[in-house]
A and B are shown apart, each in its own frame.
Chain A
Amino acid sequence: MSKSTMSVPVKRRVFLGATSIIALIAMAPAAMAQTQTIKIGYVTPQTGPLAAFAEADDFVIKQVQDTLANSLETAGGPVNVEIIVRDSQSNPNRAAEVARQLIVSDEVQLIVVASTPETTNPVSAQCEIEGIPCISTAAPWQPWFIERQANPGDPATWESFDYTYHFFWGLEDVIATYQGMWNQLDTNKQVGGLFPNDADGNAWGNPEVGLPPALKAGGYTITDPGRYQNLSDDFTAQIDAFKAANADIVTGVVIPPDLTTFWTQANQQGYKPKIASIAKAILFPVAVEGLGPIANNLSTEVWWSASHPFTSSLNGQSAGELAGGYSEATGRPWTQPVGFIHALFEVAVDSIKRAEDPFDPDALAEAIAATNLDTIVGHIEFGAEGLPPVVAANVSKTPLVGGQWRYQDDGSFELVIVENAAHPEIPLGGTMEAIE
Chain B
Amino acid sequence: MDYLNTIVQGVLLGGLYALYAAGLSLIFGVMRLINLAHGDLIVLAAFVLLAMVSALGLPLPVALLILLPFAFALGWGLQRFLLNRTLGDDILLPLLVTFGLQILIQNGLLVAFSADSRKLSLGALETQSVNLLGLSVGLVPLITFAVAVVVLGALSYIFYGTGLGRRLRATSDSTEVVQLMGVNPRVIFAIAMGISFVVLTIAAFFMGVRSNFDPSVGPARLLYAFEAVVIGGLGSLWGTLAGGIILGVAQAIGARINPEWQILAGHLVFLVFIIVRPRGLFPKQ
Contact A55 B114 (CB under 8 A): yes
Q: With a CB–CB cut-off of 8 A, which chain B residues contact A257?
A: 117, 211-214, 217
Query: Within 8 Å of chain B (Cβ to Cβ): is A226?
Result: yes
Contact A234 B13 (CB under 8 A): yes
Sort chain B's interface into a size bin: 35 or more
Query: Within 8 Å of chain B (Cβ to Cβ): is A231?
Result: yes
Chain B interface mostly? helix
- Among listed B138-146, B155-163, B193-201, B232-240, interface-contacting one: B138-146
- Among listed B21-29, B56-64, B66-74, B253-261, interface-contacting one: B253-261
Contact B118 A290 (CB under 8 A): yes
Rounded to whole Å, the gap between the CB of A94 and the closest CB of chain B is: 14
Contact residues, A320-337 vs B (CB, 8 A)? none
Contact B114 A226 (CB under 8 A): no
Residue of B nearest to A269 (CB): B136
Q: With a CB–CB cut-off of 8 A, which chain B residues contact A284?
A: 116
Contact A286 B211 (CB under 8 A): no
Query: Within 8 Å of chain B (Cβ to Cβ): is A260?
Result: yes
Contact residues, A235-253 vs B (CB, 8 A)? 235-238, 240, 244
Which residue in A51, A225, A235, A294 is a CB contact (below 8 Å) of B110?
A51
Rounded to whole Å, the gap between the CB of B250 and the closest CB of chain A is: 11
Contact A269 B251 (CB under 8 A): no
Contact B260 A227 (CB under 8 A): yes
Contact A237 B115 (CB under 8 A): no
Query: Within 8 Å of chain B (Cβ to Cβ): is A371?
Result: no
Query: Within 8 Å of chain A (Cβ to Cβ): is B97?
Result: no
Q: With a CB–CB cut-off of 8 A, which chain A residues contact B10?
A: 234, 236
Rounded to whole Å, the gap between the CB of B238 and the closest CB of chain A is: 22
When chains A and B are docked, how far (Å) is the Cα of A198 from the Cα of B195?
39
Rounded to whole Å, the gap between the CB of A53 and the closest CB of chain B is: 9
Contact A234 B139 (CB under 8 A): no
Query: Within 8 Å of chain A (Cβ to Cβ): is B6?
Result: yes
Query: Within 8 Å of chain B (Cβ to Cβ): is A15?
Result: no
Interface size on A, residues (CB 8 A): 43
Query: Within 8 Å of chain A (Cβ to Cβ): is B173?
Result: no
When chains A and B are docked, how far (Å) is the Cα of A231 from the Cα of B5?
21
Query: Within 8 Å of chain B (Cβ to Cβ): is A212?
Result: no
Contact B252 A290 (CB under 8 A): no
Contact A48 B256 (CB under 8 A): no
Which residue in A225, A228, A256, A293 is a CB contact (below 8 Å) of B117?
A256
Contact A233 B16 (CB under 8 A): yes
Contact B127 A236 (CB under 8 A): no
Q: With a CB–CB cut-off of 8 A, which chain B residues contact A229?
A: 260, 262-263
When chains A and B are docked, how far (Å) is the Cα of A257 from the Cα of B46?
14
Contact A287 B117 (CB under 8 A): yes
Which residue in A51, A233, A244, A287 is a CB contact (below 8 Å) of B115?
A51
Residue of B nearest to A231 (CB): B220
Query: Given known contacts A52-B115, A267-B127, A269-B136, is B2 in contact with A234 (CB within 8 Å)?
Result: no
Which residue in A49, A55, A258 is a CB contact (below 8 Å) of B216?
A49
Rounded to whole Å, the gap between the CB of B14 and the closest CB of chain A is: 10
Query: Within 8 Å of chain B (Cβ to Cβ): is A232?
Result: yes
Query: Within 8 Å of chain A (Cβ to Cβ): is B119?
Result: yes
Q: With a CB–CB cut-off of 8 A, which chain B residues contact A238?
A: 255, 259
Contact B110 A233 (CB under 8 A): no
Contact B211 A240 (CB under 8 A): no
Contact A287 B212 (CB under 8 A): yes
1/0 per residue, CB under 8 A from A, across B89-128: the answer is 0000000000000000001001000111111010110111
Query: Within 8 Å of chain A (Cβ to Cβ): is B9?
Result: yes
Q: With a CB–CB cut-off of 8 A, which chain B residues contact A237?
A: 6, 252, 255-256, 259, 262
Rounded to whole Å, the gap between the CB of B110 and the closest CB of chain A is: 6
Which residue in B9, B139, B140, B259 is a CB contact (below 8 Å) of A226?
B259
1/0 per residue, CB under 8 A from B, across A418-431: the answer is 00000000000000
List the 8 shortest-distance A-B pairs measured between CB atoms, nearest first: A268-B138, A51-B115, A290-B119, A228-B259, A237-B255, A267-B127, A257-B212, A256-B117
User: Which A residues are closer than 8 A to B by beta carbons?
Assistant: 47-52, 55, 197, 225-229, 231-238, 240, 244, 255-258, 260-261, 264-265, 267-270, 284, 286-287, 290-294
A-B contact pairs, 26 of them (CB 8 A): A51-B110, A51-B114, A52-B114, A225-B259, A226-B258, A227-B260, A229-B260, A232-B259, A232-B262, A232-B263, A234-B255, A236-B9, A236-B10, A236-B255, A237-B6, A237-B255, A237-B259, A238-B259, A256-B117, A256-B212, A260-B119, A264-B140, A268-B136, A268-B138, A269-B138, A292-B123
User: Which B residues are closer than 8 A to A by beta carbons?
Assistant: 2, 5-6, 9-10, 13, 16, 107, 110, 114-119, 121, 123-124, 126-129, 136-141, 210-214, 216-217, 220, 224, 248, 251-252, 255-256, 258-260, 262-263
